[in-house]
Amino acid sequence: MRIPAAIRASQRSPLLQVVKSAAATIAAWLIAGWVFPSQLPVFAAIAALLVVQPSVNQSLSKALERSIGVIAGVVIAMGLGLLLGSPSWIVLLAIVVAMLVAWIFRASPGTGNQVAISAMLVLALGSSSPEYAFARIIETLIGVAIGIVVNALIVPPVLVAPARHHLGLLGAELAASLDRLADALPNPQPPARMQELMLEARLLRPMKDAADAAIAAGEESLTLNPRRSTHRADLREMRVLLERLSPIVTQVIGMTRAYADHYDDSIGEEPAVIAIAEQLRRAGHDVRLAVQIADVAPEPETLTSAIPALTAPLVIRPPSSQHWILIGSLMEDLRRIRGELVDDE
């Protein structure tokens, strides 16, 4: 039997993240146990374990969520305990009241769950006295602080490499799509090949989304990160390159769609088509060049000339009447691609 995908991640977390979580949990247990020797430091250990996140910024968000949830849950448990005593059913009542309070104040799901869990743990593990409640709040804050410190000081995560990888893959595939369309334009194509061209072009959109998400994750990982100064410029350059490539992705998909919709076997006889195919190859070269300049090329398998290939704008003679829609569409998309790749200044 295969383990369901719902309980397995697509890839393992970095081993360093596991080590940091374990170190924070152990440190929180020892320090909180020294501060409050009469109680097991469960709240501190849980807080430290939850606060160690993939980025320092996420750790702060989780710390705020955990702290507010514990404070609210402890207050609810203490109030119910003082009001109703300590019957066993009060634990269930505390959970229900905590969930209702979280709903009333529109708390996030994580905060709402934390309120209920904290209220349950206070009543199940201890008492409802103000001294016990205050000690649990301080214990949680100790665990939160230790989790943030460990995550910030022990090799804080910087997610620049995944952003570079995804952006490089996008640039390589975009250049390849331009080359494939350039090869297809002058030659007759069977229907199966036309479908293949469309499928390959449409794959560019999820690749662009993946690159955008990876860069966003990289930018988020640098927020409040002590190592951000050495990587911020790299991510800024990647973001600029993605903003240049994104419109070209749209144009390539549109050009391939137009070619498939208006295709006939005589299209390759148009002189303009051969010129457009050459411009597409030049555009593919310049996309590879831009990716290499930004140092995000996936692998240096081919040497790309450092001289941009797109020079003067293409000027063509009017096409024959049955092809003017396709030729005009391709020319307009080519003009937009050139506008993203060429700095006329």
User: Which whole number is the average pLDDT over 7-32?
Assistant: 80
pLDDT at 54 over 60: yes
pLDDT value of position 345: 36
Query: Crossing angle, helix 109-125 and helix 130-153, to 10 degrees?
Result: 130
Domain coordinates in residue numbering, the chain = 16-153, 160-341
Please say whether the dihedral angle defined by the alpha carbons of residues 19, 20, 26 and 30, taken in this order, is positive or negative: positive
User: Which whole number is the average pLDDT over 158-172?
Assistant: 86
pLDDT value of position 126: 63
Task: Compute the distance between CA of residue 158 and CA of residue 161 in angstroms, rounded to an integer.
Answer: 8
Q: Which of 163-172, 208-217, 284-293 has the weakest average pLDDT?
A: 284-293
At 290-321, the pLDDT tens digits run 888 766 666 555 545 555 455 555 555 555 55
pLDDT at 331 over 80: no
Residue 136 neighbours by CB distance under 10 Å: 27
User: Which whole number is the average pLDDT over 255-274?
Assistant: 81
6 or 182: which leads in pLDDT: 182
Q: Which of 328, 313, 325 is nearest to 279 (CA)?
A: 313
User: Which whole number is the average pLDDT over 154-181?
Assistant: 86
Q: Which of 149, 75, 61, 147 is nearest to 110 (CA)?
A: 61
User: Which whole number is the average pLDDT over 322-344?
Assistant: 75
320 or 30: which leads in pLDDT: 30
DSSP 8-state code for residue 5: G
Q: What is the CATH architecture of 160-341? A: Up-down Bundle (1.20)
Please say whether the dihedral angle defined by the alpha carbons of residues 199, 205, 209 and 212, taken in this order, is positive or negative: positive
pLDDT at 205 over 90: yes
At 106-124, the pLDDT tens digits run 888 878 888 888 888 777 7
How would residue 249 be classed by pLDDT, with cut points 50, 70 and 90?
very high
Task: Compute the distance between CA of residue 128 and CA of residue 90 in angstroms, rounded to an integer.
Answer: 11
304 or 187: which leads in pLDDT: 187
How would residue 127 be classed by pLDDT, with cut points 50, 70 and 90?
low
Amino acid at 109: P
87 or 155: which leads in pLDDT: 87
Q: Is 215 helix (H, G, I), strand (E, B) or coil?
A: helix
Q: Does pTM surpass 0.85?
A: no
Average pLDDT of the chain is 80
